[in-house]
Structure 1
Amino acid sequence: MSKRKGLSLDEKREKMVELLQESSEFFTLKELEKIAPKRKGIVSQTVKDVVQSLVDDGIVSSDKCGVQTVFWCLPSAEVQKKRARIAVLEEEVKASESTRERLESQLSSLEAARTGNGLTNGRDTFLTQLAANEQAVVALTAQVAEQAASDPERLQRLAEATKTAREAANRWTDNVDTLRRYVSDKFGMSSADFARQFGVPADLEYLEEEAPPQQA
Structure 2
Amino acid sequence: MSKRKGLSLEEKRDKMVELLQEAAEFFTLKELEKIAPKRKGIVFQSVKEVLQSLVDDGMVSSDKCGVQTVFWCLPSEAVQKKRARVAVLEEEVKSNEAASERLESQLAAMKAARTGRDLEGDNGRDAFLKQLASDEQAVAALTAQVAEQAASDPERLRELATATTTAREAANRWTDNVDTLRRYVSDKFGMDSADFARQFGVPADMEYLEETAAPHDAQADAPG
Q: Map of 1:59-138 to 2, 5 A cutoff?
A: 59-73=59-73, 74-117=78-121
Bigger relative contact order (CA 8 A; separation at least 6): 1
> Superposition pairs for residues 1-216 of structure 1, below 5 Å?
1-73=1-73, 74-117=78-121, 185=189
Instruction: Tell me the SS of whatever aligns to 1:4.
Output: coil
**C-alpha distance in structure 1 between counterparts of 2:101 and 2:93, whole Å:** 12
Gaps of 5+ in 1: 119-183, 188-216
| Alpha-carbon shift at residue 186 of structure 1 (Å) | 6.1
Cα deviation digits, residues 150-179 of structure 1 (max 9, x gap): xxxxxxxxxxxxxxxxxxxxxxxxxxxxxx
Deviation at residue 60 of structure 1 after TM alignment: 2.4
SS across alignment from 2:94: helix
CA RMSD of aligned residues (A): 2.2
Which has the higher Rg, Structure 1 or Structure 2? 2
State how far apart, in whole Å, the 2-side matches of 1:85 and 1:25 are: 29
| Offset, 1:47 | 0.6
SS in 1 for 2:7: coil
Confirm or deny: 8 A CA contact 2:58 2:81 kept in the other structure: no
- CA shift digits 1:48-83 (9 cap, x unpaired): 111112223333222112221112232221221221
Asked if the contact 1:21–1:75 (Cα under 8 Å) also holds between the matched residues in 2, the reply is: no
TM-score by length of 2: 0.48
Q: 2: distance between equivalents of 1:110 and 1:100? A: 15
How far is 1:29 from its partner?
0.9
- Extract unaligned runs of 5+ from structure 2: 123-187, 192-224
Instruction: Tell me which amino acid in the other structure corresponds to 2:64.
Output: K
Report how many residues are paired. 122
> What do residues 89-128 of structure 1 show as CA deviations (whole Å, max 9, x unaligned)?
211211111111122111211121112335xxxxxxxxxx
TM-score by length of structure 1 reads: 0.50
Code of the aligned partner of 1:60: V
Q: Distance in 1 between matches of 2:26 and 2:117?
A: 66
Amino acid at match of 2:107: L
**Which sits farther off after the overlay, 41-50 or 16-25?**
16-25
Structure 2 CA distance for aligned equivalents of residues 16 and 112 of structure 1: 60
CA distance in 1: counterparts of 2:35 and 2:79, whole angstroms = 20
Alpha-carbon distance in 1 for matches of 2:27, 2:33: 10
